Structure 1
């Protein structure tokens, strides 16, 4: 062994040089990412697309098949007289991934497997703003455990390969991502500050891990707007747009900023708190303790206060209405021509355009994608926002930026949280152990110790 050469052990293999293990992990990821992005392909096509030798691809494919991360899907013919090729596709139907979002008035769930099947998706009304971190984390743990049970049951029938799923534990959990409206220390899974939840220095990743009991699984925590922006960049209405801003349309307003195809995090990872831009020093007090923040003008709480003052946030009504229920009522009023609601939406729209112009002047995005209630009420809201934006941006028409309504609804952040976990697994397929005979084990699919709060990967260029 040469000086400085170290050994590491891969699951199901003997000792190998660390450099060899790293190279193999990179090549496995390259093959898996190609299948995720392009669908089923033959080994020869993968070799041509990735630049890897055909023998190397065949060897890598054997390991991915052993880990049940790919499946053979049939024969493809290369031309009229070409030799038939056996195609493979992404599988991972036994790998469970859970995306969660906790926000002011709800907990959202997006449960999937590595093959992309959505197995659990819902939102539960919950007053996180008035419950404090301890009660909120208990509720988050309860919802997570229930979703994990549903995920494992969903894998109990047949996998994507059509073979039996292996009993009541057909899916093993590989990771959980959690979206939170606030400043997050992603590397440690700590919510540094979430003003609208009243949280400060909450070790969410470690505390959720404890709440999950015997389900030992890595937990990642990130800002809700960042995760929603990643979801939009990957699969939303402006997917692949290299310069874009995503705005949450919740009680609080956050922003995820994509610049040149990469999520902008800033020096400490706290960028995107656009809802706390001061736009009216004489305005109402914000949850952060300052006056006149942008979210006091355009957040859902501001719209509800103006459009339906008898149902304003903070009145202590129980049970807590789902945000979509609140917005649906306002939409019905707008469709019926309610003057109070029409005036409220016009006011919010103008403030949305004003804040948007600041973002355009700073970052020059091609689109501003709006989610949450902004998207639901887009037909009434965005004309006012677009007009104000065009009136206030310095570059004028040359900037060519427009507001676009998201089609991911209130579930964008939980979808993004699940996507981050999927990206981590695609980046390191060796995190999923080889298939074993007998029922799949409920718990971490990861080989080796679970890592709490890994840094979320950046999106790659389209």
Structure 2
């Protein structure tokens, strides 16, 4: 494992690192203002961090007179993290230095079931020439999976979760050292982290992200903390019953099956384009835009239902902002139907469409990996996004 895990930094060095990581780059004056430390103390902290290759001099800025000001940043040598998105239709990974510099990004689409998709992700990582060329292993690997992630992956009193099978299959095929911390998190929660740290939820302590694609899920922050629930299953909107009548059955994942993209295409199966059944949501939306009455009606009914689901979630959580993301929200006309219905029922919560596209989950996984690494480096002064992340048990 990287020597960084064995470091014990002074309180001053930890405090300086925490603020430098947040700022991205800073001179001694800015670090002194942020930390409340004196110039000499900041200098000592920077020297200690530089001696451990955690901090480096980025450049020197010459003012109108006097000596040049040194600008510092987190060094590439501080280490790197790996974020992996193990999705239902695609597996991807991104490797980044702790300072955010991109090292590698690869992605491949698939049609495999959840039982084997961990292997595909592991093979993708193992086959990467860029990752193989790096001298040191990642500090942390964070896996985003489209499954409920229990707070404890292995409990004798509970059935073995699929999230654990996916993770173990990834570890076995990735060729990464098993001693690395492997963090596992739900994919929608990862996307929510990306929006909260670097998106439309930034600056809001109480905020929600609703993903509308193949599945429907919710990730949310309360008082600035990602809420995972007692069992790790918070935000599982798919488990809300579709029917409240005992006479009408409501199967598991009923809302998701009805109002996710699969349910939309099932409802659109009787609509034809050029003599062929509609084959994708994009094709359905195009038909509606071109004046097909049946496509317009279905699009409106589906969008209104999703707007009401979002409004129901907001009535419970009371977020300051709700961001809608996922594949179905990328069509502006369809997203507007959802937003309009939401706003008809809730004028207090700001609602917006994510600008991050399909990379939100992967970015969130990287941020969670960096979060765990930074917490270890500056444990006394760094405020983590996840106080108790779910980690793969060491064997």
Range 100-109 or range 348-357, more displaced: 100-109
Contact 2:149 2:163 survives alignment (8 Å): no
Q: Partners in 2 of 1:284 and 1:219 — Cα distance?
A: 43
Q: Which residue in 1 is equivalent to 2:236? A: 273
Among candidates 9, 17, 35, match of residue 20 of structure 2: 35
Of 84, 92, 117, the match for 1:136: 117
Q: Distance in 2 between matches of 1:263 and 1:428?
A: 19
Q: Is residue 356 of structure 2 the alignment partner of residue 408 of structure 1?
A: yes
How far has the Cα of 1:262 moved from its partner? 1.4
The answer on whether the counterparts of 2:17 and 2:378 sit within 8 Å (CA) in structure 1 is no
Equivalent in the alignment of 1:383: 336
Q: 1:333 to 1:32 in 2, by over 3 A?
A: farther
- 1:66-215 aligned at under 5 Å gives the runs 66-76=51-61, 80-81=64-65, 83-92=67-76, 95-128=79-112, 131-133=113-115, 135-147=116-128, 149-152=129-132, 168-170=133-135, 172-188=137-153, 200=162, 202-213=164-175, 215=177
State the partner residue of 2:393. Answer: none
Q: How many angstroms does 1:425 deviate by?
A: 1.7
2:195 to 212, 229, 232: 232
Alignment of 1:339-418 (within 5 A): 339-377=293-331, 379-393=332-346, 397=347, 400-418=348-366
Q: Which residue of 1 aligns with 2:276?
A: none
> TM-score scaled by structure 1?
0.70
Counterpart residue number, 1:448: none
Query: What SS class does the counterpart of residue 173 from structure 1 fall into?
Result: coil
The 1-side partners of 2:264 and 2:4 are apart by 55
CA RMSD of aligned residues (A): 3.6
Q: Which runs of 5+ in 1 are unaligned?
A: 1-8, 14-20, 153-167, 312-324, 432-452, 458-462
The alpha-carbon distance between structure 1 residues 10 and 139, as it changes in their structure 2 partners (threshold 3 A), is closer
User: Could you say which residue in structure 2 is the equivalent of 1:456?
Assistant: 389
Inter-CA distance 262–26: structure 2 relative to 1 (3 Å threshold): farther
In 2, are the aligned partners of 1:285 and 1:296 still within 8 Å (CA)?
no
User: Which runs of 5 or more residues in structure 2 are unaligned?
Assistant: 273-278, 380-385, 391-395
Q: Deviations over 1:127-178 (max 9, x none)?
A: 24xx352x2222121122234x3235xxxxxxxxxxxxxxx43564222111
Offset at residue 28 of structure 1 (A): 3.5
Separation (CA, whole Å) in 2 of partners of 1:189 and 1:145? 26
The answer on 1:243 being equivalent to 2:206 is yes
Question: TM-score normalized by structure 2?
Answer: 0.81
Provide the residue aligned with 1:423 in structure 2. 371
Deviation at 1:223, TM superposition (A): 1.0
**How much has 1:98 moved relative to structure 2?**
1.7
